[in-house]
Every structure is written in C-alpha cells, then in structure tokens.
Amino acid sequence: MKKTPFELVERKGGVSEFHLIHNGLKVLIAPTAVAPVATLGVVYRVGSKDEVAGHTGATHLLEHLMFKGTRRFNRDKGTEIARILQRIGANFNATTWLDRTNYYATVAVEHLETPADIEADRMRGALVRDEDLDKERSVVLNELDRGENEPFGILLKGLFAHAFIEHPYHHPTIGWRGDVEAIQGDTLRRFYDTFYQPDNATVIVSGDIGEQPALDLVERFFGPVERGPGRRPQGTIREGQQRGERRFCEHRAGELGFLGCVWHIPEGLHPDLAPLGVAAQILSEGVVSRLNQRLVETNLCLGVHASAMESHHPGLFQVFATLAPGIEHADVESMILEEVQALGAAVPKPEELARAKVQRRTDLAFQRESPARLVSALTEGVAIGDWRVVVDEMAHVAAVQAEDVMRVCSQYLKPLHQTIGWFVPESDPESGR
Amino acid sequence: MTQELFDSGDRMSFAERVALHAFEGGGRLAVITNNHAPTVTIAGTLQGGTAVVTDGRFGVPSLTAAMLDRGTADFSRMSLARELEDHGLQLDVHRSGSAPASVFFSLQGLAEELPRMVDILASVLRRPIFPDDELQKVRERIMGVLQHERQDTSATAYAQLTRLIYPTGHPFRRREIDIRENEVNSITRHDLEQFHARCYGGRSLVCAVVGDVVDSNVEQLFSEALFDWGAPPQIMPEFPKVETGVSARVDTEIADRPNLDVFLGHAGRLQFGDGDYAAALLANSCLGQSTLISRLGVAIRDQAGLTYGINSDFSGTLQIPGPWVISLSVASENLERALVMCREVLDDFLRTGPDEAELNDERLAWAGGYQVGLATNVGVAMEVVKNLLAGQDLSRMDRFPREILEVSRDEVKRALKRHIDPERLAISVAGSIEG
C-alpha cells in the first residue's frame, strides 16, 4: 500500500487541511460542484508588513516579476506564464496586501494541471532578472501614479501612515516612491529566497474536483519542490498604544471632499472581530444603516462605508465618507463620531442585529456558489492566521449579542485612539508631487 | 444535475436545460436550475435606456432608472429598503453606457426568498411613483457625482473621445457636464412618469432566473406578477449619422493627477450576432485583449515599461454598435512615446494580421474563458439575457466555444480591416499633462 505523503490536519465545514510532509507545504481542499470549473490559488505568508525601511514595495514588485519568467515558463521558450494561462481560458491574477501575496487561476476543471504546474515551478524557480526589474519598475511607478489620482487612495495611505508609527502597516503596500525607484535586484532575490518557500505557502484548490484527485494533483506538482536556502526572520513589531487623537489634512486639486476616521482594533483572529464586524454593518450596510440615514439619505455625503479590518496583526476599524459639494468636513466628522460613540453607549436594536446576521448569512451562501470566491476567502483566512475563520464565521456572527457590540465599540472606538484624515479639494493647491 | 448542465459530451446541452417562457405582454423568462448552492439570481433588462429618447433629454432614462427603488405604489423608500435588507436581498438597477438602449436589473438572495424577490421586482419595475422629495435627493446626488467626474481623468478622457467621434444627439456621445447638470435640474416627476409609461413594459422585458429553484414555481410566480404587463409599441429613433474619416486629438489638463488616462478610438460597427462577430473579437484580442500578452501590452507594458495597463475593446455591441477603443494609463513624460508606439503596433498588426500561433492562443482563450465565465449563477444569467436580448437562440451558448475555434486567419484579417481603421483614430488625454 502506497504511503500517503500528506498528513491530514483537519476537516471542517467542507474544507480539508493537509500538510505535505516532505516540504511543509500546507494544502486546503474545498470541493464544490457548482460548475465544471476549479480555482487553484497559492498564498505566501509574506506581505508589506515583512518589508523594512528602504525596501518598501519589495513584495509587490516581486509579485510583478513572478510573471516575468521561471526556469520552465518564460518568453525565451515561448512559454510565458500569462500566455500559457490565457491559452486555457484561465481567469488569473495575483495580488499583494499587508500580510500576504497570492496567485490564483480559475479554469475548466480539465485544465487544472496547468496552473498547478506553473505555481509549483515559480515557488522556487522564478528568475527575478535585473533586466526584467528595470522594465517592471516603471510599470509599477505608473501603477503608483494611478493611486495618486484617487483621493480615497491618498486618504487611506495617510491614515495608515499616521495610525501606525512603529508597525510596518505604516507604509503602503505599493511602497514609497523613492524605495520603488531605488530597489535593486539583489534585494528582491533575497526576499524571494526568504519567503517563497513551500513551508511558507498554502495551496488552495476548490471546484468540481474531489479531495483525492486534488491531493494527487498537488503531490504531483508541489511534491518535488524542495526548500530553498532562506530562513525567515522571527518576531514581530508591536505598535505602541495610541494615547491621543491624531489628524492630518491633504490639500490637493479636486472637487469633492473625503474624510476618514480609524481606530485601533485587535488582530483578525481575536473574538472581538465578529462584534466589530456587526458594528460596521449597523453603521453603513444598506440604506437603513445609521450612517446612511444620517449622511447619505440627507445628501450630506455621496457615500459612506465602515469596516472592521481583519489582519494578521492588530488592525483598524475604518469609516470613510465622500462629502457632497459644499458640505464641511467638520460637520460630517462630528456626525460620524456621534454615531460611533452612540454604538458604544447603548445596545443596538434587535432588528439591527438581526439584519446584520441575515445579510452575512446571504453573503456566505454566495461565497459557496463560486470556487473563486471561496478560494479568495480562504486566502484571507490563511493571511490572518487560520483558514478556519472562514468556516466558523457564521457561527461567530450568530453568537454576537447586542451587549457585545456595545462593549467592543466602547472599548476600542475611543477618541484617544482615533486618527482622522481630511482630503480637502482646492482649485489651486500647491502641487505636492 | 447542475454539474451536467455545464458539461458537453453526452450530457444535456445548455439549450435543453433552459426552460423558456413567453408572457402575454411580450416578456420572456428563462429559468435554469442549479441546486449546488442555496441561492438565486434574477437578472434582466428592458428597453428603457438613453437610446430610446426622442427629444435629446438623455438624462430622463437615467433618472427614471435611479428612481425605481425610491418609492412604489407598494413600498416607500424606507419600507422597500427594509424589505430588501431585512432578508439579505441585493437589488441593482442601472443604465449601461455600453448598451444605451437598455436598463439592466438584478436581484440576488437566498432561494427561499424567491417569492418575495419576484414581488419586489414587479413593484419596482411596474409601479414606481417617483416621489418629489426622493427626486430632489437623487438630483442633488447626481450633481455631486458629476462634480466628482470633473476630476476623474478616465471619465473625462473617455467623454472627450466620444465627443470627437459622435455628433450631438447620438446615444454614445457623452455630453459636457454643464449640459448634464442643467438638464438634471430641469427634469420633473411628470417627465419620469411619462417616460416610464412610454418605455417600461413587458414588451421588451427579458429575464433570467438561475439558482436553487423549480421551473414551475418560478413560472407561476412570474406569471402572477408580470404575465399581463405590456406596453405601447416603441420604435428606436434614428440617430445622427457618424462622420467617417475624422481624426483629431484633445488634451484636457487636470491638476494634481500624475497619471494620464488616454483613449484612442473611432466609431465601431460590430454587433453581437454579426456573421463576423467572433472573427472581430479574435482580431481585437490579438491586438489588445490582455495587458500581459496581446501585442499592445507586450510592446508598451512588457517591453517598454510605459504603462500599468493597456487594452483595446469593442465598447458596446448590443443593439447599437459603440466605439472601438484603446485605453492606457501613462506618466506625462512617457505620453508621446506611448502614442507613437501604439500607432506603430497598430499599423504593423493591420499590415500582417495575427500569425497563426497567436490566433490559436486567442481562439483557445475565448473557448475556455467562455466556460469559466459561466461558473456562477450570475454569469449564466447575464449570458442568457444577453443572447435573448440580441435575438439569439440559446443554443448559441453551446455552439460558441466550438465556433470560435473554427474561425480562420483569413476571416480574422477581413474582420480586422472592416472594424479597425487607424486613419480614423481620435485621441483624448486627461490628467496633469504638463507634469
């Protein structure tokens, strides 16, 4: 009898976790036969939080270079990654965020070997060439410029930079411009050798494929991948407690004002994230939500959105508003703060809690309808530290009581812990470029 | 059962799996059962877009669509919002810039909510009352959105391009913001009521329901709600003639916008269902479908590093042909070089057409991508609606992947010559061009 190369870790909620014993690769299998397609994703537990001063943007730039070629898949051989994936009609891409970098492809299930082959090859076989870096650097600088066109992006960058002083969530995922302009190939190759390792990655397969065929596929392609030379740094940087309000103003050319308020909250696996998520829904999900009623239905704002960030390390509760023409930032800010403080002063109404729960239940049902969405959710679970948060989410939300919402809002959304940013549109500002 | 739905071979085809129903008022309903998730998606369209106006007031259809969920004979704005949100339902009604004859709608939720969803949909589509106070709120909101658009490099550049290409009165021409602002302030409740009475009706209704449903139940629910919904006959107005041979450029300076958005394009003539539709898609794909591997992307992003994204596209092929457009983002110092390179790539491609290898890649990409696009209920529903709207038999959904694999290189070259003309290219740029 053939000895299995996998160790079963857990089955839960239709998802099975295995470890490939030989190289430490983690594997999640989530069959769903909604259509004859499947999604294969690889998530590396490396994001912009792993970058040091002077090398910001390295994770994202490396993600770009991962499409430039591996030993087996490259333009010189007529086998560039994008072309091979395109040829099978794949819907594919890659993204970089604070805690992770991920690559994914959704394909007709009979083509699933192709993304598995490519992802296994670039796990340790990416070329990361200097000549590719030279060209891709200007591509990324254009991407950075695109972000500078967007008031919301500017505001978000400022809020993180002010709310986090010590922790690397301080800098944007795309990196500071000067670092992107200067970073060298040697730095990226060291970064690659350090973090692109099978025991720092999770392969996720979901779709119209059974557990055993999916494991066979993973073993065939990822089994031969050997660990590389890098050793990952241990330890994390802890953000000190914020002991007073911080605020900033960004004055740029524009027509509309934007406003953002953030507060420090615990890491994504903390049990208080579920009531914080419900609080965000009560504040801004749908027409009947509190901030929509106060700001949007009254035409003081064009839009408002609240969210509880789920991240590997302690994150931020965020509220953003797009101001209607002629509306003062101070007025909108005071109304947002009133509504946030009210959530911490009294329990929400039963119908508000019930509404938040049914909305979440529906969202999760649609998540199961699509292999791509399920892989995306599991990817974020892996990034924050445990994929089980995805399958446990409904139970966690269902267990939230009105008192929990009030407690977490009064505990975390305090004036001393808040950071506020204004994007102020001006007709003739000094260009800050 | 549903797994078989998407498979070929000896399993049932798409056309066989779809249950089609026709209503007395003229509406059509397609039902597809997919019981692998407890959800349902309703998607549909009717002819209530800007292209059906006869007096040049293109804001009326947009405002009509925007007001549908702001009060009906059955629900106030708030009671409708509660009915949706208390049951986890998501309603969307919008006008499409690339299909200006139509208004599109969708409603998604858990399958157990289907009866409620059909009631809501019927109320919103058939019985809106356009309350004055809500109309004023929507007016103010649109004014804010238009204000924002003044600083949006992509929207500005695209709007300018359409004004270079299309004459006044054409539904693909995006009018100046000042004109749109004045019009929004002039539109009354009576205008919306009249437009709704004239255009909204079962006659042009096309609807698809996909999810964990039973066909007979769906048919009964829709019959009760929409079976008798008709409308007066409606004729699509004639549009002003598009001048050919126009080649021009306009630059729009917007402060503090380091990324420039650039559009190059001309009026198109391709329509969904045309004999050379697949060939034209393939021609465009080889040139600019993918930022990473199409000719424009390889030259201008991959090799020269000038842009984060460059694509070409037939922007609108449903009922009324829209423009063919190349779009890219670029820093001001790289603008002129990128434009020269675009033209060189385009000229070279038109001279030679695609080679057999790249064409075959695109054939396979379309055939495989079509299947991937049908992986969700909403993807299936939208494709069914698109085919019915274009008067296509639903067997096309089974045939299309095979047909596209059979398109020859000569057919693609002919389509290329017919649909893409570099001598007519208009160019529009918006952003901090002076750096």
Q: Is the Cβ pair A286, B431 closer than 8 Å? A: no
User: Which of B67, B85, B286 would best serve as a mutation to test chain A binding (most A beta carbons within 10 A)?
Assistant: B85
Q: Is residue A230 part of a domain?
A: no
Q: Which of these three, A206, A222, A238, is where a domain ends?
A: A222
User: Which of A68, A146, A299, A397 would best serve as a mutation to test chain B binding (most B beta carbons within 10 A)?
Assistant: A146
Instruction: Tell me phi and psi for residue A18, to 5 degrees.
Output: -130, 160
- Fold type of domain B8-226: Cytochrome Bc1 Complex; Chain A, domain 1 (3.30.830)
- Residues A193 and A255 placed together within one structural domain of the fold: no
CA of B257, closest CA in chain A: separation in Å?
5
Inform me whether the C-beta atom of residue A54 falls under 8 Å from chain B C-beta atoms: no
- Residues A275 and A368 placed together within one structural domain of the fold: yes
Q: Is residue A240 part of a domain?
A: no
Q: Which of these three, A222, A237, A266, is where a domain ends?
A: A222
Q: Is residue A110 part of a domain?
A: yes
Q: Is the Cβ pair B329, A145 closer than 8 Å? A: yes
A179: domain CATH number is: 3.30.830.10
Instruction: Please identify among residues 376-415 of chain A the ones whose CB lies closer than 8 Å to any CB of chain B.
Output: none
- Residues A304 and A213 placed together within one structural domain of the fold: no
Residues in A touching B364 (Cβ below 8 Å) = 87-89
Q: Is the Cβ pair B148, A107 closer than 8 Å? A: no
Inform me whether the C-beta atom of residue A364 falls under 8 Å from chain B C-beta atoms: no
Buried b (16+ CB within 10 A) or exposed e, B252-267: bebbbbbbbbbbbbbb
Residues in B touching A135 (Cβ below 8 Å) = 302-305
- Give the contacts of A5 (CB within 8 A, at least 6 positions apart): A20, A21, A22, A219, A223
Q: Is residue A298 part of a domain?
A: yes
Residues in A touching B259 (Cβ below 8 Å) = 142, 145-146, 148-149
Q: Is the Cβ pair A369, B82 closer than 8 Å? A: no
- How far apart are the C-alpha atoms of A202 and A188, rounded to whole Å? 21
Ordered by start, the domain boundaries in chain B are 8-226, 249-431
Q: Which of these three, A157, A189, A222, is where a domain ends?
A: A222
- Residues A185 and A263 placed together within one structural domain of the fold: no
- Residues A15 and A57 placed together within one structural domain of the fold: yes
Of A86, A107, A368, the CB nearest to B37: A368
Q: Is the Cβ pair B256, A33 closer than 8 Å? A: no
- Residues A62 and A194 placed together within one structural domain of the fold: yes
Name the closest residue on chain B to residue A258, using Cα atoms: B148
- Residues A349 and A405 placed together within one structural domain of the fold: yes
Domain count, chain A: 2
CA of A94, closest CA in chain B: separation in Å?
13
What CATH number belongs to B249-431? 3.30.830.10
- Residues A189 and A253 placed together within one structural domain of the fold: no
- Residues A107 and A31 placed together within one structural domain of the fold: yes
Instruction: Please identify among residues 61-80 of chain A the ones whose CB lies closer than 8 Å to any CB of chain B.
Output: 67, 80
Q: Is residue A234 part of a domain?
A: no
Q: Is the Cβ pair A108, B84 closer than 8 Å? A: no
- What pLDDT was estimated at residue A2? 64
Which residue ranges of chain B lie beneath pLDDT 70? 1-12, 232-235, 244-246
- Residues A162 and A24 placed together within one structural domain of the fold: yes
- What pLDDT was estimated at residue B240? 80
Q: Is the Cβ pair A88, B77 closer than 8 Å? A: no
Inform me whether the C-beta atom of residue A90 falls under 8 Å from chain B C-beta atoms: yes
Inform me whether the C-beta atom of residue A181 falls under 8 Å from chain B C-beta atoms: no
Which structural domain range is residue A396 located in? 246-426
Q: Is the Cβ pair B86, A358 closer than 8 Å? A: yes
B27 close to B226: Cβ distance less than 8 angstroms:
yes
Beta-carbon count within 10 A of B373 CB: 17
Is the Cα torsion angle A399, A402, A405, A410 positive or negative in sign? negative
Q: Is the Cβ pair A149, B377 closer than 8 Å? A: no
A201 close to A26: Cβ distance less than 8 angstroms:
yes
- Residues A255 and A217 placed together within one structural domain of the fold: no
| pLDDT in single tens digits along all 433 residues of chain A | 567 899 999 999 999 999 999 999 999 999 988 888 999 999 999 999 999 999 999 999 999 999 999 999 998 898 999 999 999 999 999 999 999 999 999 999 999 999 999 999 999 999 999 999 999 999 999 999 999 999 999 999 999 999 999 999 999 999 999 999 999 999 999 999 999 999 999 999 999 999 999 999 999 999 999 987 778 888 778 899 999 999 999 999 998 999 999 999 999 999 999 999 999 999 999 999 999 999 999 999 999 999 999 999 999 999 999 999 999 999 999 999 999 999 999 999 999 999 999 998 899 888 888 899 999 999 999 999 999 999 999 999 999 999 999 999 999 999 999 999 999 998 765 544 3
- Residues A216 and A270 placed together within one structural domain of the fold: no
Q: Is the Cβ pair A365, B305 closer than 8 Å? A: no
Instruction: Please identify among residues 285-344 of chain A the ones whose CB lies closer than 8 Å to any CB of chain B.
Output: 285-288, 297, 299, 302, 322, 324-325
